[in-house]
Amino acid sequence: MATSDWAGGVPGPRSAGHRRGRPRARTALAVAGCAATLLASTLARRRGGGAVRHPGERLVRGASVVGALALGAALVPDPVASRHRRRIAELGALGAAVGLAQGGSPVLFDVLGAVFRRAIGPAAPEAPDGDAGRFAVRFLALGSAALTASAVTRNAAHGAETCAGCGRPAPDGRLRAPAWSGYAAVALSLPYPVVKLAWECGSDLGITRPELIHGIRGGWVPVVPALVGSVLSLALVRPWGRVFPRWVPAVGGSRVPRVLVLGPACFSTALLAQVGPAAFMSGVRHYFGPRKPTDDFGLRPWVPLTFYASWMLWGPALGAATWEYHRTTAGCPACPPGRDGAGGSGAA
């Protein structure tokens, strides 16, 4: 079989061709999604008396407008819009997708709250009338974020070589994330578990009231999910996150199912996108607001602010590493590896 070099001199099957035409239908659908999200947000605000009850509402409206305008610029025909201008529009649309995902991420807590109220039954507090409208807005925001990101990546893959086996573009033809994003996610995940474990070992690092902090039983329990997140972040960039090590019984040497890594990674990214910024802004307002804090949690201010800042930055880093994992593992076994040595076959 004839071969062609996609990247790094690695031979692979001859390309099935180049992607032709711009994905106008997908881009138009993403524009419609942004417009629907903006309309739903406006109607929900009017129904609630015009008050903004959550900071994410402003973010959703602003990101919807930016996303629709940026995607609309990407629909301009080639002779009118230069390649550089289109690239700027695609970056703006990608930023809008991030904003929509952030603004819509509280839907996770909406679902958990609904499950909680159903489990408790009549004793559960009833949800306000505006909750249904805000839930719809957040759900639309997440859907619009997915459509916008999909349109941007399809635009980025336009003209790239495609595999003869699965028709997907070559890894180098897609939008890429920094190669170090996974290691940055690992580093950002460590402040909380490291400090918590130090406290469990008797350290007074950042503690103003040792009797209060050391008196908490089971303080090591929150460390477990944090360390799981660290391992997950590392799995996104290490070979054993793509192929099971040989010493693993029964599955050693086989390909790791993508959903086993991408599922928890996407959920963790969405959770951090909601919790991180909200916790950090609350901490800043608490310690540096006009009102001097009267409650003492037994910690110096830099301790919780460090935790919250690391969570806020961990989310984007984990999201970038998750996208890079998806980019380098999507495809069929015939897909040649990319420059980073992690190809569609999952070998790394």
Largest Cα span, the chain: 74
The strand pairing partners of 266, in sequence order, are none
Do 30 and 99 share a domain, yes or no?
yes
Report the candidate in 312, 228, 221, 239 with the shortest Cα–Cα distance to residue 269: 312
pLDDT of residue 120: 60
Q: Which DSSP helix (H) or strand (E) runs through 166?
A: none
Residues 208 and 149 reside in one and the same domain = no
Angle, helices 191-200 vs 302-329, to 10°: value is 130
Do 265 and 197 lie in one domain? The reply is yes
The sign of the torsion formed by the CA atoms of 316, 317, 318, 322 equals positive
As for how many domains the chain has, the answer is 2
**Do residues 60 and 186 share a domain?**
no
pLDDT value for 19: 46
Cα 228 from chain centre = 17
**Residue 8 maps to a domain:** no
Residues 122 and 193 in one domain: no
Is residue 214 domain-shared with residue 307, that is, in the same domain?
Answer: yes
Rounded to 5°, angle at Cα 281 from 280 and 286: 100
Q: Are residues 199 and 151 in the same domain?
A: no
At residue 22, the pLDDT reads 52
Low-confidence ranges of the chain (pLDDT < 70): 1-23, 48-56, 74-83, 108-110, 112-131, 155-175, 291-296, 331-348
Q: What is the pLDDT of residues 240-253, one digit of tens each?
A: 999 888 888 888 88
Residue 235 has a pLDDT of: 93
User: d(Cα 184, Cα 194) in Å, to the nearest integer?
Assistant: 16
Domain-embedded: residue 19: no
Query: Are residues 250 and 133 part of one domain?
Result: no
Do residues 255 and 300 both lie within one domain? yes
What would the two tokens of residue 221 be? Answer: 């329990």
Is residue 276 in a domain? yes
N- to C-terminal Cα distance for the chain?
Answer: 24
pLDDT, tens only, 132-171: 778 888 888 888 888 888 888 776 655 555 565 555 555 5
Residue span of the structural domain in which 206 resides:
181-329
pLDDT at position 189 is 93
Instruction: Output the six-digit token pair for 78.
Output: 């080639």
Rounded-to-integer distance, Cα 102 and Cα 145, Å: 9
Whether residue 60 contacts residue 53, with contact meaning beta carbons closer than 8 Å, is answered with no
Encode pLDDT of 89-133 as tens digits.
Answer: 878 888 888 888 878 777 766 676 666 666 665 544 555 444 677
- Length of the chain in residues, anyone? 348
Please tell me whether the overall predicted TM-score, pTM, comes out greater than 0.95 for this model: no
Say whether both 188 and 301 belong to one domain. Answer: yes
Count of Cβ atoms closer than 10 Å to residue 310 Cβ? 20
What confidence score (pLDDT) does residue 194 get?
92
Q: What are phi and psi of 238, to 5 degrees?
A: -105, 155
Q: Is residue 133 assigned to a domain?
A: yes
Average pLDDT, the chain: 75
| Structural domain includes residue 163 | no
Same domain, 116 and 211: no
In what helix (H) or strand (E) does residue 16 lie, and over which residues does it extend? none
Contacts of 224 (CB under 8 A, 6+ apart): none
